Each structure stands twice: as C-alpha cells, then as structure tokens.
A and B are shown apart, each in its own frame.
Chain A
Amino acid sequence: MTMLDQLLNFAPKIPIAEATKSTTEWITDTFSFLFKPIKQYFGDFMEVSSDILMSVPPIIIILVVAVIAFFISGKRFGLAAFSIVGLWLIYNQGLWDHLIYTFTLVLISSLLSILVGVPVGIMMSKSKTAEAIITPVLDFMQTMPAFVYLIPAVAFFGIGMVPGVFASFIFATPPTVRFTNLGIRQVSKELVEASEAFGSTGAQKLFKVELPMAKATIMAGINQTVMLALSMVVIASMIGAKGLGREVLSALQRAEVGSGFVAGLGIVILAIVIDRFTQSMNKKKAS
C-alpha cells in the first residue's frame, strides 16, 4: 500500500496555485498603469450610462420598449404587452434603479463580448490553427466555475461594476465566438466559390457573402451571450456590482425569501424581454 502510494508521490506537489497567484500579482503590478485608468474611466462611463437611463422617466422607457417590441415582433401585441406589464411590475416593486444597473451591466458586457467575439470567431473560421488553439480556450472559459473569475477581476479592477463586466465578459463570450465560427464555416462551398470566381477580395467575400449568410447563426450565438451575461449579474454582485443581483444576494444573506423572489422575478422578466428582443431581430433579418 505504502509502496503504491509512493509510486504516485514521485514528484512533490506542483505549485499551480502559487504560480497562478504570482502570475496574477505580476499582471496586476505590471499592468496597473492600464487597469487603473480602465477602472476609472470605464467605471465612470458605466455610472454615467446608468445615470442617463435613470434620468429618463420610467414611463417613457416602458413605452419606448413596448413600441419597439410591437414592431420587431412583426406588429403583434404579445411581446409589447408583456414588456409593459413586466417592466411596470419591476417599477411597482421599487426595483427600477436596480433594473437599470443590471441592464447597463448586461448591455455593456454583451457589447464587449460581441465586439471581441465576432472577430475572434471570424479568425477561427479562416484558420485551422486558430481553431485548434481557441477551441480548448473557449471550453476552459465556459467550464471553469464563474466565481473563479471574480478573484482576478477584483485583483485587477477592485470592486464595483468594472470587474463585474470583466467576469461576465469572460464567461459570456464563448458562444458568440463559437457560433460565428460555425456560421461562417457552414456557408455553402459553392457560394464561397462563386464569390471567389468573380474576383472578390478576402474582405469582400467576408462582408458580402459570408457574414450575411452566417448572420442568423451569429445572432443565435449573440442571444446566448446576452443570456449568459445576464446569468452573471448575481455572481457579479458578490464583488460589488450594483443591480438586481445585489438584491438577490442580500436577500440570501438575510434569508428573506420574499424579497429574494421579487428580485429574482425582476431578473426573469428582464431575461425574457431581452431574449425575445434578440430573437425577433434574428427572425426578421433571416427571413
């Protein structure tokens, strides 16, 4: 028995945790000149964005959302009616400001994910090597428990909205990358050949043929990304991100089932509205 144990003990414990720690510390120290202004300006930017949205009377936001919902769902009333009732309910429960913070967090981190994810996906679709390298990285990003990202996020950006965006960016970007790659690879070979046979440059092929053809798939990926970003709001609240997530968290800490349910319901309503919005945009463009 001891002999067998010794077989496994041929090497001392590999200091992965220590290495990670020192690497993170090194990054924090070395790039603090970068992280500080990001935290500063980006944080300010998010505060200002939230403040602007909050300065708009809720009734106007609700109506605007309802009107947009009416048009993007093909002039049907279902989504518009749901938006009005749902958003009003959140207002009614006194969660309006939290809703705005959550929405800002989701919006900004999703935009960031799309901004980075789509180009990375394109790169992946164009190169087998890139695909071979990026795929395991994406798997890692998605399977590592999301809480783990909070630790370096705090190290880099302190607490608040910015590390929240950072953590949800890492957690939510993979679907956009994957679906962009998939969408472009799925474009029929003959269409790609057609665009090449007429003398397209690489960029013309991408923008005139591949991206338009892959749009529906990419939009499906973006929808996933937005949903994942939303699922991060509760986790991000643990490092000080404001919003509905913080309400859920504090209800959890105080074991208040009622207010926890209400805040959770707010997230559900927001999720449904955002999901239907992104899906309708996709359907409209695809048809």
Chain B
Amino acid sequence: MPLIEVKELSKIFGKQIKQAKQLLDEGSTKSEILKETGCTVGVSRASFSVEAGEIFVIMGLSGSGKSTLIRLINRLIEPTEGNILIDGEDLSNMDKKALRKTRREKLGMVFQRFALFPHRTILENAEFGLEIQNIAKEERSKRAKEALEMVGLGGYLHQKPSQLSGGMQQRVGLARALANDPEVLLMDEAFSALDPLIRKEMQDELIDLQAKMKKTILFITHDLDEALRLGDRIALMRDGSIVQIGTPEEILVSPANDYVEKFVEDVDRSKILTAQNIMKRPETINIDRHGPRVALERMREEGLSSILVVNGNRDLQGYVTADDALDAIKKENSDLRDILRTDIQRVEKDTTMNDIFNIIYDSPIPVAVVEGNRLDGIIVRGAVIAGLAKDGEVSFDNA
C-alpha cells in the first residue's frame, strides 16, 4: 500500500465555490472557470500516490499550483474536495485534534525561505516540533542535537538563525523537520533560495540522508534539473492539474504532451539519458554457428564495416571487421575465433551519455551495451548526437 495517496484533490479560491466546483466537474478549464465565476482553481483534481521511501517530485512553473498542492497535503490550506490518505488515514476529514497529531507525528515540512524563528537559537528552532508536543526539555534537546548533527550543524547550537548563511539556515530547517522523526517530509522549494553550488550540495546531502533514513519525501520545485536529480518519480503540473507522472526517463523520453516536451527541451540531456535510451538492437553473429562468410554477408546486408560476435547465451565475445572476414575467406579459414577482435568498449545500461561521450569519441567501432556479459545493444556515434539533439537543437554544454 502506498504511504501517501491523494485522490481527486481540488482547491478553488474565491466566493462562488459551489458553482466553480460544478464547472470543474463538467470539465471546464481554469480560465473558463475564472471568467465564469471569478474563482481561481488552485489545484484541479490531482491524484497520485507515493510509496514509502520514495522521493516524489512535484514540478511546475510558478502559478502551476504546486505550492498549493503541498499545502493541501498537510491541510495548511483546506481542500475544496478530494482525499488525502497517509498510512491509510484520511486527513481530509480529520478533526483539528487528529490533524494536529498527524502533523506532529507524521509530517515534517521544510520551507522555501527557511521560515526559521528569528527569536530562537538554532537548537531552539530544531526543538520546536518537539517542544509543542510537550516533550521534556532534556529529551527534546537530545533529539534536536542529533538532528542537527545529522545535517552537519552540531557546532552552532546557540547561534541565532541570522548569524548563519542561507545554506546553513536551510540545514536548520531540515533538522527541525527531522527532529520529530516524521515518516513524510514535505519540502516546498526547499533549495530554490540557495545559490547553485550550495543547492547542488544540499541535493546530494538530501539523497544521502534519504538513503540513511528512508523517509518518504515530497519535493516541490520549479527546476527540472533538480527534479531529475532528486526524483524517483516526477509529477509535472500545469494550471493546477497534473499533466504527467513518471520516472525522470519516462518524462524525458516520452513527454505526455507539448507542454511537457517544451518543459524538458532545455534540459541537459547528456546528464539524464543513459545508454539504455539511445542503444539500438545489435546485429550479431553466433561464434559457434557462423563463419566469416555469414559475417561478411550480414555486414553487406546491413551496410556495416564490423559486426558483433556472441555465443549461444548472447554473451559478447568480440567483433570481426569486414576486412578480416574477407582475408579469412581468401585464406579459406572458416573459424571466426581466428579473426575475432576483443578490444571492444563496453558500457552498462545505466551509463549516462555524458560518460559514453568520452568513450565513443575515440572508438572507431560502436560501443556495446552489456549487462554482465550479456549483450543488450549497441550505441553508434550517430545515436549519441541524435539523442542530444532532440528537435534539431544540439546542446553540448557538458559534453
């Protein structure tokens, strides 16, 4: 069972909610509803589920409703309709007391501009969530200190937030959320206010922390690179609706519509696309069954100058070139093993294109994609370029 389940969640801001709701159910768009009723649709029937231990990224441009959506999940904003299930419990119809209990025990939140309490020290900030649960002073400062240690701020306990840099302040924000030991972390553009270097560092640390602590993270961002780095799955939002949910590859490789495609076209593909995305089905011959003649014939058919050689298990043996095969035929040598070359470059399925670039650059023959020894595909130079140059635009930023 997924840890978080969001079903048909909507939020309409304005006065004529009832009317707007009806229009929404009838399938009117956001702008039609605004024109008709003066109501703004913040989030329109969003449904998704998040598995325990997953980093689920909700991405969209400003105004797409992503910040509203994350606030609907802990009911900082009251949903107009729909359900939010966490651990099978429905938050949307909890009374105040039950909601408070869920917020205290299950949901931690990290804010875009840190939202640290300026009148409290770092330690007191990290203690906040425990303090409001009336946990004894010693216990809460112990747990808050552990959380601060974890984010690398053990030495700043008695400073005020204003004395710390932005990156450090957001570490405090993270520690404050972690001190409660919640199952779910809601992160609202948590790294967007940081400069790029620090942001990347924080992203890495979040991934490390996640590996250690196995929290379920809901991460909001407008930055696709960040979404692709962090997300196990990504939901793309537009005008309050979720337009696509998928793994980073799915989003990049098969955008659900023009909007998504437009969104992803500026991405530096070389960092995201892997061997798997650009490999082709390889032409092969079997070392046990075929000889140089078959090899040459197949190369002629396919217009290749070399061909990969496998055994009966599709384990990669090497390759033969057309020249060598011709020589062997002239010498009436029928064993491929005599002309087999083994200096072929191998990459794994999940090698990024960035790395493949360096390999293929000075390799005269295609690169083999293998899983263990088993041949899965080949990558020819042309495919690398084509993969990067989607819609004719080539980006060689990090090539």
Residues of B within 8 A of A196 (CB): 76, 103
Q: Is B131 an interface residue (CB 8 A)?
A: yes
Contact B119–A198 (Cβ < 8 Å): no
- Compute how far the CA of A191 lies from the CA of B125 in the bound complex, rounded to whole angstroms: 11
Nearest A residue to B125 via CB reads A194
Contact B115–A198 (Cβ < 8 Å): no
Shortest CB distance A79–B (Å): 25
- 1/0 per residue, CB under 8 A from A, across B119-156: the answer is 10000000011011100000000000000000000000
- 1/0 per residue, CB under 8 A from B, across A183-196: the answer is 00000101101111
Contact B74–A197 (Cβ < 8 Å): yes
Contact A194–B133 (Cβ < 8 Å): no
Known: A199-B100, A212-B119, A213-B119. A193 touches B128 (CB 8 A): no
Contact A199–B117 (Cβ < 8 Å): no
- 1/0 per residue, CB under 8 A from A, across B322-364: the answer is 0000000000000000000000000000000000000000000
Shortest CB distance A137–B (Å): 28
- Compute how far the CA of A213 lies from the CA of B117 in the bound complex, rounded to whole angstroms: 8
Total interface residues in chain A, CB < 8 Å: 17
Contact residue among B118, B132, B176, B186 (Cβ-Cβ distance under 8 Å from A199): B132
* A window 172-213: CB within 8 A of B: 188, 190-191, 193-201, 204, 208-209, 212-213
* B window 27-80: CB within 8 A of A: 71, 74, 76
Contact A190–B111 (Cβ < 8 Å): yes
Contact A197–B109 (Cβ < 8 Å): yes
- Compute how far the CA of A208 lies from the CA of B120 in the bound complex, rounded to whole angstroms: 10
Known: A199-B104, A201-B100. A194 touches B132 (CB 8 A): no
Known: A197-B76, A198-B128. A209 touches B115 (CB 8 A): no
Contact A194–B119 (Cβ < 8 Å): no
Contact B103–A198 (Cβ < 8 Å): yes
Contact B104–A209 (Cβ < 8 Å): no
Contact A209–B117 (Cβ < 8 Å): yes
Residues of B within 8 A of A190 (CB): 111-113, 115
Count chain B CB atoms within 10 A of each CB in A188, A200, A201 and give the residue with the most: A200
Residues of A within 8 A of B186 (CB): 197
Contact B111–A199 (Cβ < 8 Å): no
- Compute how far the CA of A200 lies from the CA of B103 in the bound complex, rounded to whole angstroms: 9
- 1/0 per residue, CB under 8 A from A, across B74-105: the answer is 10100000000000000000000000111111
Q: Is B107 an interface residue (CB 8 A)?
A: yes
Residues of B within 8 A of A209 (CB): 117
Contact residue among A191, A193, A201, A208 (Cβ-Cβ distance under 8 Å from B76): A193
- Compute how far the CA of A191 lies from the CA of B113 in the bound complex, rounded to whole angstroms: 10
- 1/0 per residue, CB under 8 A from A, across B169-197: the answer is 00000001000100000100000000000
Shortest CB distance A203–B (Å): 10
Residues of A within 8 A of B112 (CB): 190
- Compute how far the CA of A259 lies from the CA of B115 in the bound complex, rounded to whole angstroms: 57
Residues of A within 8 A of B113 (CB): 190
Count chain B CB atoms within 10 A of each CB in A190, A194, A198 and give the residue with the most: A198
Contact A199–B119 (Cβ < 8 Å): no
- Compute how far the CA of A197 lies from the CA of B131 in the bound complex, rounded to whole angstroms: 14
Residues of A within 8 A of B76 (CB): 193, 196-197
- Compute how far the CA of A177 lies from the CA of B176 in the bound complex, rounded to whole angstroms: 33
Residues of A within 8 A of B103 (CB): 196-199
Contact B100–A194 (Cβ < 8 Å): no
Shortest CB distance A285–B (Å): 9
Nearest A residue to B131 via CB reads A208
Residues of A within 8 A of B129 (CB): 198-199
Residues of A within 8 A of B104 (CB): 198-199
Residues of A within 8 A of B133 (CB): 199
Shortest CB distance B282–A (Å): 53
Count chain B CB atoms within 10 A of each CB in A196, A197, A200, A201 and give the residue with the most: A197
Residues of B within 8 A of A198 (CB): 103-104, 108-109, 128-129, 132, 176, 180
Closest 7 A/B residue pairs (Cβ): A199-B104, A199-B103, A197-B109, A190-B115, A194-B115, A198-B129, A199-B100
- Not counting A198-B108, A198-B109, a sample of 5 additional A-B residue pairs whose C-beta atoms are within 8 angstroms of each other reads A198-B128, A199-B105, A208-B128, A208-B132, A213-B118
A binding-site residues for B, Cβ under 8 Å: 188, 190-191, 193-201, 204, 208-209, 212-213
18 contacts between A and B (CB under 8 A): A190-B115, A193-B71, A193-B109, A194-B117, A195-B128, A196-B76, A196-B103, A197-B108, A197-B109, A198-B128, A198-B180, A199-B101, A199-B104, A199-B129, A199-B133, A201-B100, A208-B117, A208-B132
